[in-house]
Each structure stands twice: as structure tokens, then as C-alpha cells.
Amino acid sequence: MNKTTRTTYDEFSEYVRRRGPALRRMAQSLTGNHADAEDLLQAALIKTFFAWDRITSPKARDGYVRRAMVNTQISEWRRRHLDVYPTDEIPEQRVDDPSWRTDLADTVNRAINRLPHRQRLAVVLRYYEDMSEAEIASVLGVSVGTVKSTVSRAVAKLRRDADLVIERTAR
């Protein structure tokens, strides 16, 4: 390995070590489960590594990885869209280490994960990534009106879920 390649590898490794946990949380928000999040992040990091020398600003690195995750997730969603069937049964999922989460963050994360895929993606892009409706429309390949209605339906569902949680705890 030559010196330039070694430097690139070292920089990239340091970036992944430092930013990995935050990027993993973003991937988890996009996918809804731990295993898919790890796969999504891995795919995005591979794409990022091959483009590392072209990312001239260190401030642009997170944005590049996030964009790679969103694009990869959208491609995967489009590929599997016709093969997914809703069910009343919720599969068992691994429980993550709760040491970095508060109860509220965990509750919000579980509520967001219960949203249908497109609604979850729109909410994550809108409120976690602070993207505008026009930016989300561009990323998802839909109209701004579709983004508005999707986010509106998602927020309404989250409010209904929150009301149910409050009802249950009040009993």
C-alpha cells in the first residue's frame, strides 16, 4: 500500500470510528431495525470509501454518507416494494443496548419504527435531517404535495399512538 492510500485509509478509519454511532442511529431510523441498519450503513460506507478522495471538505462527509444511506434505502425500498405484505404479527427484534437512550427517545424511536416505510422515511428526513419539503420530494422522487400529505399522515399517526400511550399509563 502506498503512502497516499494509507493516509486515505487511516483518515476514513478515524472518521468511521468517530462518527459511526451517530451514523448507525441514522441508519436505524431509516430502516426500523438493527440488522437492516447495519447492512445499510455498511453499504453507504463502502460507497463513501470509494469516493473519499473526491469529498474535499471534511464538513461534507456526514452529508455524503447520509445521502448514500437515503439513496440506498430508497433503492432497496423500490426493489422490495411489491414483495412486502402488512401483517398483525410483529416479529421479534433484538433489543439494543439502552445505555445511550432515554425512555422518551426509546418510545419515540419505537413509534417512528411502527410507521409505514415511506412515512418513516419522510419523517426522518424532515425532522431528524431537517430537510425541506422540496428536498425530500427530490430525494424520494415525488411531488411536494405528496411529501406534505405523507408527513401529515405520519404525524397524525404518531399523535394517535402518543394518545394511546398516555391513556395506558393513566390507568
Segment 17-22 shows an average pLDDT of: 92
pLDDT above 70 covers what percent of the chain?
Answer: 77
Q: Which of 10-24, 90-104, 131-145 has the lowest mean pLDDT?
A: 90-104
Find where cell 443496548 sits: 97
Confidence of residue 130 (pLDDT cuts 50, 70, 90): confident
Q: Tell me where in the chain the CATH 1.10.10.10 domain(s) lie.
A: 101-171
- pLDDT > 80? residue 157: yes
> Into which CATH architecture does domain 1-81+88-96 fall?
Orthogonal Bundle (1.10)
Q: Which is more confidently placed, 116 or 3?
A: 116
Neighbour tally for 36: CB within 10 Å: 15
Task: Write the CB contacts of 72 (distance below 8 Å, at least 6 apart in sequence).
Answer: 40, 43, 44, 47
Q: What is the pLDDT of residue 100?
A: 46
Confidence of residue 17 (pLDDT cuts 50, 70, 90): very high
Exposure class string for 93-131: b at 16+ Cβ within 10 A, else e: eeebeeeeeeeeeeeebebbeebebbbbbbbbbbeebeb
- pLDDT > 90? residue 148: yes
Segment 135-140 shows an average pLDDT of: 89
Q: What is the pLDDT of residue 33?
A: 85
Neighbour tally for 72: CB within 10 Å: 20
CATH of domain 101-171: 1.10.10.10
